[in-house]
């Protein structure tokens, strides 16, 4: 863009506006750390659709941009107020923000979607969220809108959109609401594949109507930005949308069929769809006839959308796919990547699927944290329609070798002739399942993903236009749903685990498939391990973890001189709380009690939720007196909690200490019997399981009864 553009009159700037620009040659613009694909930071560089849009505006105005990166919107608001930040991108115009900001007209509109875990069958709409916990980002407009318009929704305020999704994935929240494009991008790149889009938030107030915002007293800057935005052409916007694969959901291209399009489809007997050979899980022949795979499923959806007939043709070795297209033997290649060498004879649709290219190896120590680590390594790849032949050009320091198939590449790795194998996540995942590659690990991900498009002959412009409109009408979510079904469902179902392990291992499998960054893998592994042993409501250890600890303790107390105390707590009259005040209040009571007991339990002792309204404390090396004193402290702490909606909450506690030769089942049974007696004799008290006089320790306090005495702790 010419440096004289801002002065040429093309933007219609006034003399005052031109003078303002001459004094403000660099605009300070907000950049978020993790809100892809609109506004995020990658390797220290601001990137995303909104960033590209701002750079386009800056070019038209002939000004520079200094991006200010942070992950807290409250900080950005503070900087706008103080004048240390000039511009906020992709911001929604709300009443609260209008008190200190002014906004341009919107440049992007996106509806909101509701995201839940895959096993959640009860949430489909905003009405279903009443009484549920919904994760929102601190400072985002969604927090303001839900507080004002949906008081029945319980908000869990997090620091970022990624944290919102993690809260749902790991059971801290029931749902989160956001832009499907953003959410799906984060789900795919951060391995949260136990999440799904449950439905649309059908309230236009929750749609993200994105504008550019500036400080309220900067009306001059607002006007300048708006004039530059008015000069952004539809073609420029199309290029931005296509680059970030936002066509369908973000109103980039018209998806309506013209009369000419409809007539073209009517006169089209069938579309010959060619593929070179079976390449599962993308395309292959199904057992009962027909075709299956990611691409085959998508083509069936497109066939219904366009009301056309796709005729599948497997080319085999007789003719290459490019030759088939050039000679009009084929009308359509359903899975190609954009390649400038094909531009002379092929037209492309915009990408309909983004697939990670990963590195598979036999060893954990070969990890792709940075592509520079592959310097000098020998990596195999299968050339062909996937476009993997571009890897040698993009990574000249790596020695790439062609292999005939993934299976051949795995054999060469086992023979020590290859250090790794590059291919896409679905292809390697399918090989792991189909051929039992138990020794194969996903060691990392290459920088650029594979963008899958459809290709038609250069002469068949109208067919390309119709296909493009059909893909736009399907939207982004249909290809993503199909992809996730093949990647996350078909490779998890063969495992037969309990519901907890199916959830945890399912995510671990996908973690293994996607292999993003070493730090992220370790962090997610820790989170997944914690999820498998943590009660989602109270964030305490669950029954499974308590069972594991008790089993370990039994080995220890079987040796002479070792003991282990068990405290079994049950909330008094808890059923009445749920019946009279609802399960939401009941959940809050459980959380408050869990926090209170957690504050009392010391180092070396373990607190967990035993089930329902029961908690357990495991006390290694405790005598009966020590365990009983701890129980009474816990009882008092719970009784002294400030009254909630349901009033004062108390607890009854049964105490038992291991005896020589006793099993875990016997120990817990004695604690449970003591708890039952505490309930029978008035609640809000501690009862101790019966033991022999010989095994009682001398530090047993007189005011804590044993079962043979029949007395109890006075009710508070």
pLDDT in tens, 502-520: 444 444 444 454 544 455 5
- The Cα 550–Cα 556 span in angstroms is 10
- The Cα 298–Cα 283 span in angstroms is 10
Candidates 351, 358, 314, 317; CA nearest to 335 is 351
Q: What is the pLDDT of residue 363?
A: 60
What are 237's two structure tokens? 């916007």
Helix, strand, coil fractions of the chain, as percent rounded to 5: 40, 25, 35
- The Cα 222–Cα 577 span in angstroms is 55
pLDDT band at residue 340 using 50, 70 and 90 as cut-offs:
low
User: What number is the average pLDDT over the span 235-258?
Assistant: 60
Q: Please tell me which of 457-461, 502-506, 553-557 the model is most confident about, judged by mean pLDDT.
A: 553-557
pLDDT band at residue 561 using 50, 70 and 90 as cut-offs:
confident
User: Is residue 115 within 8 Å of residue 165, measured between CB atoms?
Assistant: yes
User: What number is the average pLDDT over the span 486-495?
Assistant: 43
Element (H, E) at 110: strand 108-110
- Whether the upstream peptide bond of residue 5 has omega within 30° of 0, thus cis, is no
pLDDT in tens, 6-24: 443 467 888 899 999 999 9
Q: What is the pLDDT of residue 209?
A: 83
What are 111's two structure tokens? 């509806």
Per-residue three-class SS string for 602-627 = CCCCEEEEEECCEEEEEEECCCHHHH
Q: What is the pLDDT of residue 524?
A: 44
User: What number is the average pLDDT over the span 459-473?
Assistant: 83
**Across the chain, how many H-helices and E-strands are there?**
24, 32
Does the pLDDT at position 386 exceed 70? no
pLDDT band at residue 449 using 50, 70 and 90 as cut-offs:
confident
User: Is residue 356 within 8 Å of residue 447, measured between CB atoms?
Assistant: no
Percent of the chain with pLDDT over 90: 33
Q: What is the pLDDT of residue 606?
A: 92
pLDDT band at residue 428 using 50, 70 and 90 as cut-offs:
confident
Q: What is the pLDDT of residue 513?
A: 45
pLDDT in tens, 172-196: 999 999 988 788 878 877 778 788 8
Q: What is the pLDDT of residue 519?
A: 53
How many residues are present in the chain?
Answer: 716
Does the pLDDT at position 554 exceed 50? yes
More confident residue, 169 or 653: 653
Contacts of 426 (CB under 8 A, 6+ apart): 281, 282, 294, 355, 483, 486, 487
Pairing, β 195-200 against β 113-117: antiparallel
Does the pLDDT at position 683 exceed 80? yes
User: What number is the average pLDDT over the span 55-77?
Assistant: 92
DSSP structure string for 140-152: SHHHHHHHHH-TT
pLDDT band at residue 380 using 50, 70 and 90 as cut-offs:
very high
Q: What is the pLDDT of residue 522?
A: 53
What are 169's two structure tokens? 């994935």
- At 469, phi and psi to the nearest 5? -65, -35
Candidates 569, 587, 567; CA nearest to 578 is 587
What are 37's two structure tokens? 């694909």
pLDDT band at residue 501 using 50, 70 and 90 as cut-offs:
very low
User: Is residue 507 within 8 Å of residue 194, measured between CB atoms?
Assistant: yes
Does the pLDDT at position 142 exceed 80? yes
User: DSSP class of residue 559?
Assistant: S
DSSP structure string for 575-601: HHHHHHH-HHHHHHHHHHHHHHHHHH-
Q: What is the pLDDT of residue 68?
A: 95
Percent of the chain with pLDDT over 70: 83
Q: What is the pLDDT of residue 581?
A: 84
- The Cα 72–Cα 544 span in angstroms is 37
Q: What is the pLDDT of residue 616?
A: 96
User: What number is the average pLDDT over the span 306-314?
Assistant: 90
Annotation marks residue 158 as catalytic: no
From the candidates 613, 637, 662, 694, which is the catalytic residue? 613
User: What number is the average pLDDT over the span 413-440?
Assistant: 84
pTM recorded for the entire structure:
0.40
Q: What is the pLDDT of residue 139?
A: 84
User: What number is the average pLDDT over the span 531-537?
Assistant: 73
User: What number is the average pLDDT over the span 64-93?
Assistant: 92
User: Is residue 134 within 8 Å of residue 201, measured between CB atoms?
Assistant: no
Does the pLDDT at position 350 exceed 90? no
Q: CA geometry: angle at 647 spanning 131 and 136, to 5°?
A: 30
Element (H, E) at 567: strand 564-571
pLDDT band at residue 646 using 50, 70 and 90 as cut-offs:
confident
User: Is residue 634 within 8 Å of residue 651, measured between CB atoms?
Assistant: yes
Q: What is the pLDDT of residue 394?
A: 79
Does the pLDDT at position 25 exceed 70? yes
The rounded mean pLDDT for the chain is 81
Per DSSP, helices labelled H in 190-278 are: 219-230, 234-243, 259-266
- The Cα 411–Cα 403 span in angstroms is 10
């Amino acid at each position: 863009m010419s440096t004289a553009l801002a002065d040429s009159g093309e933007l219609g700037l006034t003399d005052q506006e031109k003078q303002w620009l001459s004094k403000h040659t660099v605009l300070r613009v907000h950049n978020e750390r993790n809100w892809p694909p609109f506004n995020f930071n990658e390797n220290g560089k601001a990137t995303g659709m909104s960033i590209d849009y701002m750079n386009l505006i800056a070019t038209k105005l002939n000004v520079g941009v200094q991006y200010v990166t942070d992950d807290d919107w409250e900080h950005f608001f503070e900087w706008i107020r103080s004048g240390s930040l000039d511009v906020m991108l992709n911001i929604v115009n709300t009443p609260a923000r209008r008190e200190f900001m002014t906004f341009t007209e919107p440049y992007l509109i996106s509806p909101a979607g509701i995201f839940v875990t895959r096993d959640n069958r009860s949430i489909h709409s905003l009405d279903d969220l009443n009484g549920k916990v919904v994760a929102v980002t601190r400072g985002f407009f969604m927090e303001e809108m839900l507080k004002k318009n949906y008081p029945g929704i319980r908000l869990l305020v997090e620091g970022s959109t990624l944290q919102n999704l993690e809260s749902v994935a790991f059971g801290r929240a029931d749902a989160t609401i956001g832009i499907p494009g953003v959410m799906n991008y984060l789900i795919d790149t951060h391995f949260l594949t136990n999440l799904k889009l449950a439905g649309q938030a059908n309230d236009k107030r929750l749609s993200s109507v994105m504008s550019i915002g500036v400080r309220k007293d900067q009306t001059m800057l607002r006007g300048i930005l708006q004039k530059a935005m008015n000069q952004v052409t539809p073609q420029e916007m199309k290029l931005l949308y296509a680059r970030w694969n936002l066509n369908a959901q973000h109103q980039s291209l018209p998806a309506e069929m013209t009369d000419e399009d409809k007539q073209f489809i009517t006169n089209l007997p069938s579309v010959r769809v060619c593929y070179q050979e079976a390449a599962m899980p993308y395309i292959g022949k199904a057992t009962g006839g027909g075709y299956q795979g990611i691409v085959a499923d998508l083509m069936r959806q497109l066939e219904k959308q366009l009301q056309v007939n796709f005729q599948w043709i497997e080319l085999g070795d007789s003719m290459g796919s490019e030759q088939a297209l050039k000679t009009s033997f084929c009308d359509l290649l359903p899975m190609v990547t954009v390649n400038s060498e094909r531009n002379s004879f092929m037209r492309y649709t915009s990408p309909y699927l983004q697939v990670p290219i990963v590195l598979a190896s036999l060893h954990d120590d070969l990890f792709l944290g940075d592509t520079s680590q592959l310097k000098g390594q020998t990596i195999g790849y299968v050339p062909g329609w996937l476009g993997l032949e571009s890897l040698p050009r993009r990574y000249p320091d790596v020695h790439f070798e062609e292999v005939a198939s993934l299976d051949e590449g795995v054999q060469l790795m086992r023979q020590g002739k290859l250090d790794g194998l590059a291919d896409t996540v679905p292809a390697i995942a399918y090989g792991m399942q189909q051929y039992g590659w138990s020794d194969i690990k996903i060691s990392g991900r290459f920088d650029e993903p594979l963008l899958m498009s459809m290709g038609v002959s250069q002469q068949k412009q109208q067919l390309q236009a119709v296909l493009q409109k059909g893909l736009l009408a399907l939207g982004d979510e249909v290809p993503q749903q199909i992809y996730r079904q093949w990647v996350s469902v078909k490779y998890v179902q063969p495992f037969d685990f309990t519901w907890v392990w199916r959830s945890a291992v399912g995510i671990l499998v996908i973690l293994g498939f996607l292999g993003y960054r070493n730090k992220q893998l370790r962090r997610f592994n820790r989170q997944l391990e914690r999820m498998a042993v943590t009660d989602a409501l109270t964030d305490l250890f669950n029954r499974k973890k308590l069972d594991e600890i008790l089993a370990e303790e039994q080995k220890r107390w079987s040796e002479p001189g070792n003991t282990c105390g068990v405290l079994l707590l049950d909330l008094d009259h808890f059923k009445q709380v749920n019946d009279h005040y609802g399960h939401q209040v009941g959940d809050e009571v459980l959380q408050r009690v869990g926090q209170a007991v957690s504050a009392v339990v010391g180092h070396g002792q373990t607190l967990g939720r035993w089930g329902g309204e029961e908690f357990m404390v495991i006390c290694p090396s405790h005598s009966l007196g020590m365990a009983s004193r701890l129980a009474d402290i816990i009882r008092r702490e719970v009784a002294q909690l400030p009254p909630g909606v349901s009033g004062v909450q108390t607890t009854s506690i049964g105490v038992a200490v291991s005896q020589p030769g006793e099993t875990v089942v016997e120990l817990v049974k004695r604690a449970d019997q003591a708890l039952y007696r505490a309930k029978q004799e008035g609640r809000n008290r501690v009862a101790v399981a019966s033991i022999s006089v010989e095994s009682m320790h001398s530090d047993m306090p007189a005011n804590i009864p044993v079962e043979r005495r029949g007395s109890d702790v006075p009710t508070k």
